[in-house]
Amino acid sequence: MPANTDIYNLPERSLRLFKILVEHFIQDGQPVGSRTLARDSDLDLSPATIRNIMADLEDIGLLQSPHTSAGRVPTAKGYRFFVDSLLRVSELTHNEIRRIEEELSASEDTQALLMRTSNMLSDITKLAGIVMLPKQEQHALRQVEFVSLSDNRVLVILVFNNNEIQNRIIHTARRFSPGELQQASNYLVETYAGKDLITVRKELVRELEHMKQNVTNIMTSAIEIAQQAFTKEPIRDDFVVAGQTNLMDIAELCDVERLKKLFDSFNQKRDILHLLEQSAHAKGVQIFIGEEAGYDVLDNCSVVTSPYESEGQILGVLGVIGPTRMHYERVIPIVDITAKMLGSALNSNN
Amino acid sequence: MPANTDIYNLPERSLRLFKILVEHFIQDGQPVGSRTLARDSDLDLSPATIRNIMADLEDIGLLQSPHTSAGRVPTAKGYRFFVDSLLRVSELTHNEIRRIEEELSASEDTQALLMRTSNMLSDITKLAGIVMLPKQEQHALRQVEFVSLSDNRVLVILVFNNNEIQNRIIHTARRFSPGELQQASNYLVETYAGKDLITVRKELVRELEHMKQNVTNIMTSAIEIAQQAFTKEPIRDDFVVAGQTNLMDIAELCDVERLKKLFDSFNQKRDILHLLEQSAHAKGVQIFIGEEAGYDVLDNCSVVTSPYESEGQILGVLGVIGPTRMHYERVIPIVDITAKMLGSALNSNN
DNA sequence: TTTTGCACTCTCGCCATGAGAGTGCTAAAT
DNA sequence: ATTTAGCACTCTCATGGCGAGAGTGCAAAA
């Protein structure tokens, strides 16, 4: 009669054994054998008994052995079960918390803050840190400035409520004088300050229609310029990765092929972005283990993410990428607290 | 009697042989033996003769053999001699030139343009592209804007003649009203527009002294704010690297240790920056081969650089990093022409 | 149910071996 | 005086055998 095949009905003893095995493997990356486990577990069992239990765990799909006479290693499913049901996250030390706090002091502009966050994450975990940048769209406009360049090019500067600054160069139909530009910007600030770009665009369309009927509107040129200034979205980076090189020290990723694929996918952004967006609307920390998510570049990797929010609105996602064999009990609270602190840092930045 | 020990008095035949050897090695990375060389060179010589010649070349220090029974490989000195005296750079194809032209169309802001340049370099050479960013200092101020934030923080926006935008947040002694800020910015633009930051700072110091004697100056607050706004230099990236992952395909760098060191030095910037600055005041393309430059992370690497300038002023340096064994005859003209085109693109951007 | 004993399997490091590639030297050929 | 042919020598690298070590699974005993 084979042992129970349901993960959730495993006897206490098997669970403890499994937990110890996973922790052991995370610690030093070697497959764990029955002998070692018998020695290191406080359960007083012989290697043989432990072998039986491990065989059961392998049947259920929590373990696997790389080859006949190596010890056992957790499967992706095993890690999943481990982090979901067995893991106790550890308390961060006072020093660590202070470190995070210090790094996230909200003194400069958002972009720089997010980069610092990413660096800090990678530095503190010795893995790769990743911070998704907030979509600009959601922020309220605060200020609009135009600077006339040569010919009919105009430099547009938009300042948002979160102190983010965007600038774009637009080509206007005709040359505008500085005076006209000043007038236009005054009008636009008056009319649209406090609204986010999406709203602004909508209202602009209405305004345009209105204009067609009432040609005398003195603000024609303002609307004209604004039409371009607010529509053209500058190409922005979607996220920043820091500490990629940390991943090069990790034994299981230590082959150039693999690393290249991973780094390439950081550069192409596409896959990683998908992954991050998935967790944008989860609450709290989320963990993607190995190819679970379907991205084969992330073979043997785990991604620990958390959305960060300010004033109740989700702004983006941050997290850490490392080997499946990472110290979840440390990484999870770090990501968690960083997300929260980043949120409030951004808050006080407004 | 040993053969001539002076590189520059080598007989024609040895030179041709050496050139063919280097080209051969650059092509497929394998040490080249006398047999191969006898076959591939149009000189009609037996392997034995070629062995003699190679022995001479080895004595002079242009060649070395990895071990007794491998073929020969160029030394750093060998590469140096090759690129300086033997190399004929190839003409770029029409397509390549057009490609470069297209990528450098100066439509957007400088920062983005430079990043595109770096990407283009890496893509077209399949190596790592690198572009040093111009020091801001040299550009003339065009526009100054202040946006009042909460408390006593003020967002400063500086627009320069090259359309570059800088923004910084400063903390003022007291809260300024939007009106005051407007007035201050008007005054500052009037007084300092057209001057570069260094000059502006100098004049500000004088202004301050003057102020102490004549307290009635209505522009006290403007000067006060400006003092901070123009002094605090925001931390900027010094250069951008693109296509790092291209280097991971290269056989001689294909060990993780090495790559990690190299990538780390990209991140720390220090060494690379030194190197780039060295070539800032050379005219035209410069080539650093291997550890020649003294940076041991660049073991087995060469760096091909060229300064780029606009209106006769050197703005920065760009180039390519790859293995010593790179196709110099292609890379050199690419770097050369890119630097020139970037220069004129930046020119037309003003 | 647990443990002991044992045969079995697989990896890994080590060594010997042999093929292949290329060299340097000497003596012969041009 | 050069160039070439011949040959012994050296070094790498891939291969295969071998034994130690680690760990397993199973059957029989506790």
More confident residue, A86 or A156: A86
Nucleotides of C under 7 A from a protein CB: 2-5, 8-11, 20-26
Q: Residue B5 pairs with which residues in a beta bridge?
A: none
More confident residue, A167 or A21: A21
Question: B350 pLDDT band (50/70/90 cuts)?
Answer: low
Q: Which positions 260-299 of A are in contact with B (Cβ < 8 Å)?
A: 260, 263-264, 267
Residues 6+ apart with CB under 8 A from A108: B168, B169, B234
Residue type, A277: E
What is the SS3 assignment for B150?
coil
CA dist B79 and B57 (Å) reads 13
Question: A216 pLDDT band (50/70/90 cuts)?
Answer: low
pLDDT at residue A2, rounded to an integer: 40
Q: Which of A145, A245, A256 sits opposite B263 (nearest CB)?
A: A245
Burial class (CB in 10 A: 0-12, 13-18, 19+), B67: exposed
Residue of chain A whose alpha carbon sits nearest to that of B348:
A150
Q: Which of B168, B248, B264 sits opposite A245 (nearest CB)?
A: B264
CA dist B160 and B164 (Å) reads 5
Question: What are the angstrom distances between the C-alpha of B75 and each of B16, B49, B82, B285?
Answer: 17, 21, 10, 21
Residues 6+ apart with CB under 8 A from A57: A14, A17, A18, A63, A72, A78
Q: Inspect the interface and report whether the beta carbons of A165 and B165 lie closer than 8 Å.
A: yes
CB atoms within 10 A of CB A107: 12
- Minimal Cα–Cα distance from A24 to chain B, Å? 26
pLDDT at residue B107, rounded to an integer: 61
pLDDT at residue A3, rounded to an integer: 42
**What does residue B254 show for φ and ψ, rounded to 5 degrees?**
-75, 40
Is the per-residue pLDDT at A4 higher than 60?
Answer: no
Running DSSP on this structure, what letter comes out for residue B102?
H
Is the per-residue pLDDT at B212 higher than 90?
Answer: no
The residue-averaged pLDDT of B171-183 equals: 83
Longest dimension (CA), chain A: 93
Strands A239-242 and A128-132, sheet pairing: antiparallel
* A3: Cα within 13 Å, side-chain hemisphere: 17
Angle separating helix axes B12-28 and B47-60, nearest 10 degrees? 90
Question: What are the angstrom distances between the C-alpha of A346 and each of A132, A318, B175?
Answer: 14, 14, 21
pLDDT at residue A1, rounded to an integer: 37
- The 10s digit of each residue's pLDDT in A247-295 is 999 877 778 888 999 999 999 999 999 999 999 989 899 999 987 878 9
- The 10s digit of each residue's pLDDT in A188-206 is 899 899 998 888 888 888 8
Residue B291 corresponds to which tokens in the numbers above?
A: 């550890």
Considering only CB atoms, which chain A residues are within 8 Å of B142?
147
Percent of chain B at pLDDT > 70 equals: 94
CA dist B322 and B303 (Å) reads 7
Question: What are the angstrom distances between the C-alpha of A33 and each of A334, B98, B151, B220?
Answer: 31, 62, 62, 77
**Cβ distance B304 to B335 under 8 Å?**
yes
Q: First vs last Cα of chain B: how many Å apart? A: 65
pLDDT at residue A160, rounded to an integer: 85
Is the per-residue pLDDT at B36 higher than 80?
Answer: yes
Q: Inspect the interface and report whether the beta carbons of B107 and A259 lie closer than 8 Å.
A: no
- The 10s digit of each residue's pLDDT in B98-151 is 999 999 986 667 888 999 999 999 999 999 999 998 876 678 888 888 887 777
- The 10s digit of each residue's pLDDT in B250-282 is 877 778 888 999 999 999 999 999 999 999 989
- The 10s digit of each residue's pLDDT in A75-120 is 999 999 999 999 999 999 999 999 999 999 866 678 889 999 999 9
Question: What are the angstrom distances between the C-alpha of A100 and each of A42, A132, A250, B170?
Answer: 36, 18, 24, 23
Q: Look-up: residue for tokens 């923004």? A: B167
